[in-house]
Amino acid sequence: MKPPPFGYHAPRTLGEALDVLAGTGEHGKVLAGGQSLIPLMNMRLAAPAHLVDINRLGGLAAVETGPDGVRVGALARHAQVERSAGAAAVQPLLRQALRLVAHPVIRNRGTAVGSLVHADPAAELPAVLALLGGSVRLARRGGTRDVAAGEFFTGPLESALRPGELAVSAFFPALPARSGTAFREVSRRHGDYALAGVAALVRLDGDLRVAEARAACVSAGPVPVVVDVTAACGAAPAGAADWEAAARAVRERIEPEDDIHATAHYRRHLTGVLAAQALREAARAAVEDAAGNAGNAGNAGNAGNTAGRAMGHGAGDAAENTAGRAMGRGAGDVVGRDGGTAGQEGAHG
């Protein structure tokens, strides 16, 4: 099908874009990658009266990395962030998650910030921002505000973005010391929206015991659901933490729904399985991270042994993980929504 008519605006500067958005108000929508918005328009599920195409605002395409984290500009494509070695070094969860977003060709156009503003609870990046406690920077004519992830996602496809505002960047905080991350999901076909998915972060203390463990779940409620499982898994050494208890805590917290792809019951079960896998993998990465840092400090012997033990403990997981991936890979039939996963945005929530 074809998209309905709209007024097309192609501002050359950020100021011009904000002026247009101020003028169009709730009738204006921002077009960046368009990989979610244009399918919606082609299917006549969205019919914005005005589109403000920000693709000429090259200044918004930057991916800036610093010790505190990664700031991703509104025009940075998924593929660009995925390839950024600097971003991966500062916050590895970004690349881990982006590899699961739709297909490579979609990732060439879709934008990370657009995906956040689209606020699809089945999408990966909102879960990443929520897990890390990141924020989105919203500009309007005459001002800018930063909205924390916890307040940004307000419902399915709804965000705190107001009419007249443009999400100019998002900030993903850096990985803390002695920490690791992982992202696990299962989808019917490679590149589809996930039936269930979990992003995990584990931080260890100086004795390599779990100091903090959190999981963010996709397709598990109206917004990304972040569950702090630190208490559930116990302050045990990374290799001996009770990840199954953590998985139970996750299952209790989420509110998945039935749809044609899966029942709520199955989603709840699957989310628990993926949470245990992702947390275990994040803990392993945290042990390696601690070993690496200790090595730099001249303590490689001890920490290396600890890393070896923790790695060995996880030997059984490899098969489990492969099975998880295989489940996500079904070759299968055609009908799917994968076109939508990637980026773009909405001017009103």
Partner 1 sequence: MGETAHEIALTVNGVVRRTRVPGRRLLSDCLRHDLGLTGTHVGCEHGVCGCCTVLMDGEPVRSCLMFAVTADGHEITTVEGLADGARMSPVQRAFAECHGLQCGFCTPGFLCTVTALLRENPAPTAEEVLEGVSGNLCRCTGYQNIVKAVHRAAEIMAEERVEEA
Instruction: Kindly tell me which residue out of 57, 100, 102, 128 binds partner 1, with binding defined by CB under 8 A.
Output: 102
**Nearest alpha carbon to residue 255 among 214, 222, 278:** 222
- Shortest Cβ 72–partner 1 spacing (Å): 19
Instruction: Kindly tell me which residue out of 114, 256, 340, 346 binds partner 1, with binding defined by CB under 8 A.
Output: 340
Decide whether 194 or 273 has the Cβ nearer to partner 1: 194
Helix (H) / strand (E) containing 348: none
Instruction: Kindly tell me which residue out of 11, 21, 30, 34 binds partner 1, with binding defined by CB under 8 A.
Output: 34
Structure tokens at 101: 């977003």
Q: Looking only at residues 59 through 98 of this chain, which bind partner 1 when binding is defined by CB under 8 A?
A: 79
Structure tokens at 318: 């490899």
- Shortest Cβ 106–partner 1 spacing (Å): 6
Cα separation, 216 vs 95, whole angstroms? 16
Q: Is 324 in the site for partner 1 (CB under 8 A)?
A: no
Structure tokens at 143: 């001002």
Select from 59-67, 99-107, 155-163, 230-238 the region that touches partner 1 (CB under 8 A): 99-107
Site string for partner 1, 107-136 (x = CB under 8 A): -xx---------------------------
Decide whether 109 or 268 has the Cβ nearer to partner 1: 109
Q: Is 154 in the site for partner 1 (CB under 8 A)?
A: no
Residue 181 CB-density burial (10 A; 0-12 exposed, 13-18 middle, 19+ buried): buried
Instruction: Please check whether residue 160 is in contact with residue 151, taking contact to mean a CB–CB distance below 8 angstroms.
Output: yes
CB atoms within 10 A of CB 43: 12
Which amino acid, one-letter code, is at 107? R
Residue 213 CB-density burial (10 A; 0-12 exposed, 13-18 middle, 19+ buried): buried
Decide whether 63 or 307 has the Cβ nearer to partner 1: 63
Structure tokens at 229: 């499982």
Q: Is 8 in the site for partner 1 (CB under 8 A)?
A: yes
Q: Is 16 in the site for partner 1 (CB under 8 A)?
A: no
Cα 127 to chain centroid, rounded: 4
Instruction: Kindly tell me which residue out of 18, 20, 24, 35 binds partner 1, with binding defined by CB under 8 A.
Output: 35
Instruction: Kindly tell me which residue out of 140, 248, 253, 337 binds partner 1, with binding defined by CB under 8 A.
Output: 337
Q: Is 55 in the site for partner 1 (CB under 8 A)?
A: yes
Structure tokens at 280: 């275990």
Instruction: Kindly tell me which residue out of 11, 28, 39, 69 binds partner 1, with binding defined by CB under 8 A.
Output: 39
**Nearest alpha carbon to residue 111 among 159, 64, 160, 170:** 170
Query: What Rg, from alpha-carbon coordinates, does the chain have?
Result: 20
Catalog residues that contact partner 1 under the rule CB under 8 A: 1-8, 10, 31, 34-35, 38-39, 41-43, 51, 53, 55, 79, 102-106, 108-109, 190-191, 331, 334, 336-340
